[in-house]
Every structure is written in structure tokens, then in C-alpha cells.
Chain A
């Protein structure tokens, strides 16, 4: 059963991506939606098994609780983005559009495939490769609009992220060296074998590898000070891609850090790895909170909010307490749903108002009968207000931090999240409630651009509510299992 599901996840999106290069646009559209939904179903079916035990397939594939959490986030966004794209990419006559749509769908499916593949890898080396594939594919997707801004953002993204991944590759090499000390040569760099010899790994190389991995993969997570590509890429990419970048790519890169964290925890004990993550997390949170206070571009605003939430994740793992880890995994899911929603709603606004400039987007509640309220609720969710999922996850994280007597860091977390809240709230308030002005976007007509773009928004909101009010038992089981695995308690 697991085998079939994993194979479906690994083969189907890839095949559809290839097919999209040939199929007519309408067929690719249908195929993409179908694949997105099937992938989501497959991942959901993986949940019960993974909550129990890890499964290794053909030595290089592995499904366990931690990976399924990230698969869930990715697959959910894949499905919603696939539906959303139907509305986002409406037919225009002419060969230019057909070429664009073909590339878009092929790239989207390939991107989703790479992100679904990364958590399924059992070896640090293969994990690195999968993440590098996500970089190059998403760089092309960022450039797809072919405007000055898009090309600039794509160049920055591909250069900075690749350089970061270069460091991550170095981390992989150093980790191989550390492992070879305990396991002998050659071996396959799987987490399981590294964790198995945890205490026997030499300390210095593991420390080096972990620091390099946090810096390297952190580039793709968007941790300060290597976050600089992130706002540009998120702002310039087509909206469905932005949603995937923010909700799922950052998380998948964080997943890679978690794997190194596991090994480092086993080899070094908690002090060093948690200290590193706390430092990076607090710095990212601080930077994002400050930048959120003064943003003019709605998508950049959301991008910095992603940096903020990734900082929260890093801090949560840095706390190390089981409750905080549980909260971190919940946060991954809730953030994926909320940020996906926010980007997709922002996409509707950009569509409707024809600008990304916050100053020109006014009176959204008035203009967009569905998207307006949903955006409001999503923003509330992003502010970590109850009853939404992010409230629950951040609450758990802070509780875990206090429980682990990381009082200072917890206090900083709360303060900075509040500052970020101020920035986001001010911007949202202006967008949603301020009276329509004479700005260029003010003439926008009333009404939703497309029902296809509303459906995923509603779904995302439902997920946020469910995660906040009462997560299903199977999911809770999965998250506790993942938290236990990550915390080194087995």
C-alpha cells in the first residue's frame, strides 16, 4: 500500500509535467488538477501508516512521520494551487499564451514533484539533490513572466539559492566524512544509518556540517542573513508559484535542516544545534518584523511574513521541548494553509486592481464579496488569532519554550510576533477597510474574477479552522510521532 502511494507521488506529477509540454492547455489544466488532488489523497492515505512506524523502500526511499508532515503541506498546496491556476490562467487567444501556459503547467507540476520527492529521500545526498532540483525549477518559474522585475528576481534567486545550496553540499560532504569515521567507507548517507551510530560520530565535523547545513539550506528557508532573494522571488513569481514557494518550498528546505538537526542531536547533544537554530530564528524574526512595518507591495509583505514564520519554526525547534516540536509541525501545516491562502487572495487582488502597490489597493471588502472576507479571515489567521491553526501552533511553541525554561527566547518570540502583527495588521487594515480613493486601482469593478480562484481559498480557510479548533486524531498522532522522532525520543 505504502509502496503504491509513494510511487504514485514520485511518478504521477513527473509524468504529467512531461505531458503538459505536449497536451493542449485545457487538457494540462485538467490533468494538473487531477494530479494535485490524487497526490493529496495519496499523502492523506500515508498518514496512518507513518504515524506508526517508518517505512524504507529500496533503501533510498523513506516515509516516516516527519516526512509525511511536509508531504501534507506540499500536497495540500499543490492541489489548491492546481485548482486556483484554472482561474488564474484564463484563455487568451494567440500562440504566446499557449507557450506560456505549457511552460507554466509543466513547471508547476515539476516543481511540485521535486518538493514531493525531497521528503521521500532517505539519504542526505539525495535530499540535497531533490532540493537543488526545486531551486532550478522554481527559478525558471519565477522568470516565466519575463518582465524586468521577474528576470532580476530569478537571477538573484538562482544565484543566491544555488550558492547557499553549494554550502549545503559542502555540509553533505562533511557529514559523509563524519559518518565514514563511524561506519566505514563507502556507505549511503541515509539518516537511519547516521542516527544509528549517533554517539560515535566525531563531534567537530558534525558540528561543522550542521552549521553549514543551517546556513546552506537556511538560504532557501529564508533565514536571516541569507534571506535576500526571498521577497523578490515571491513578489515577482506568478501567484500560484508564490504560494508554493512560500508555503511549501521554504518548509521542505526546513525539512532538510531538521534531518541534519536529528543527526546533530544524536551526535552532539542538544546544546549546540538548538543554540544555532535559536540564533538564526531570532535574527530572522527580528528582521522580518521590522520589514513588515513598512512595506508597499502586497506580495513582498506576505514574503516577509514567511520569513517571520520560518523564524518561528527555527525558534520552535531550538526550544527542543516536545510540545514546541509538536507546535512546530503543526505550524508547518497551518502556515502552508494560511500563507497559500494569503498569496492566492493577494493574487485575486492583483488581478482585480492591476497593481501590487498597497497604496492603490483599497476597499477590498467592498469590491470582492468572497475574496475580501476570506482575506480578512486569513490575515486574522496569520496574526495567530484564535480560532485558527497558527494560534494553536504558536501557543504550543511558546508553551514549550517556557516549559523548557527558555524564558528569554520565548519573551522575544512573543514580542517580535506582536511587532510583525502590527505591521501586517496596519497593511491589511488599509487594504480591506479604507475607503476607495482616487488611486489607479480604485476604478476596479465589483465581483470575483473567477470561481476557481475562490474554491481553494475556502478550502484553505476550512483547514485553518480545523487545525485551530480540533485537529483530527490521526493528524495529532502523526504530529506527536514526528515530534518524538525529532526530539530523539524513540
Chain B
């Protein structure tokens, strides 16, 4: 057994894992989805080729767009690179910068990324991009309470709102897993993730139906490397959310408990595996439900809200 890797190295590995694996997870989902629909589908590695191609293309900006239009993809990408520092991607123990921000902190950073993308979309003057960003912010506002209540549940269960602590709590005993508050919060979070990653029943991920678009409409006017950054960023956001879902809420097992290289490698494999499983589930959902009409999205969100609120309730009498 070799010596343990120093913590900073592991931490950097967390970021690299997310950045590196994100397009792959998207590829898996696209592949599985195609298979479920009876098509052969693209290769799993296709997103990497797409990104590589986009990076080689030239950049165009709409007339009248300010510097912010081009800065936004960079800012968003940096945000997505920051969040993996805060959450348990590979290790079950907290890394030096892991306590820099709690769940809310991570949420703020993600929200900042989404905000700058929306502002950049407004810069373009393109109707679809603007439509997408205004919708994203509208529905974002109503999913916010859900996220808050999920955080409340976590806070009530653990007494903190640090993701590492919750993951440790869940790992500690079976009782922590079957308690209704935990299950409800996890379910609510999953529904929020479906919304945030632009999946059915909120939005068709690969569709070309502009009227129903929310997430997908925003980078309409970007091109070249900037567009690549946005695509990569949204793949990373997806993997980050999946990571939070599995490593904090649902299955915080398979994480490295020390910095030994073997452990870390296994943890990387486990993370990719678990994210792929979540991806498959998402793909199945994508194929089994219809997209909701735009005005019905409030119903979807209200269902998530219901789950989160009941989760908080059950904690009140000590039965959650």
C-alpha cells in the first residue's frame, strides 16, 4: 500500500473527476435513452467529441452584446468548478476547503452560475434565449422554497447543514435511512434535480421544441468555445447535482475513507457508476412520462414542495 495522497491533491481530483466525467454521464444518458426508444444512439463518448469540435470553432457574438455576454460562460464554468470543492465527491471525510461553504453556499454558487447565464441570454436580444431565461428564473423562484425545506430537513436531522455531516449520518445506521424525513427530502431533491437539469416532465432535454424550452434555450446565441463551456458547464451541473443526491442523500457508500490512491481510484469508479445509475433512472423517467404543459410545471413543483414540507412536519413530533 502506498502512502496517502495529500488532501489538496484529493480535493483537486474531486474537481477533475466532476469535470472529466460530466460529459460521459451525459453520454450514458443519451445512449440509454436512445436504446429505450429502439435507436442505436450516439456513442457514450460523443459529448467529448462535440466539445472538442466546438472548441475549435470561431466565436461570434450578437451585435450590441456587451463584454458580459462573453464573460458569462467563463464565470459560470468557474462556479461549476468551485462547487465540487464543497461536497463529498470522493471522500467521506471533510477536505480542507470542504467546510468553506455549506449546502446553502453550494446552492448560491450554482444559482450565481445560472444567473449569469440568464443575464447573458438577455444580452443577446434573441426572443428564445430571453424566453428561456425568464422562464428559468420564474420557475427557479418557485423551486427555491423546496430547496430551502430540504435544507431545513437536513439541518433538523443533523444539527448542521454541512453535506459531509449528513452523509455521515445517513451512513451511521439503518434507522437514519428509513426515517421518513430523510426519504421525503431525498425525493423532493430528486424532483428539484429533474427540474434543474431540464428533464421530463419539466422539459424535453434533446428536443427542438422552442416553445417548451427552459434550460436549453438560454445558450442559443453562444458559439464556439464559449458554447462549449456552457455545454460542459451544464453537464457538470448535472453531475454535481447527481453527486449531491447520491453521495449525500441516497447512497453515501463507496467513498474513500483515506487518501490512499487505491481508495481514491475506487471512489472515482464508484462515483461514476452511481451517477450512471441515476442517469439511467432519469432516462427511464424521460421515456415513461410526457412533458408537462408549461403552466402545469407549478403542479410538479408543488408536489416537490409537499414532500419537503411533510418531511419537516414528521420531524416535529420526533417521528421523522
A and B touch in their complex, CB below 8 angstroms = no
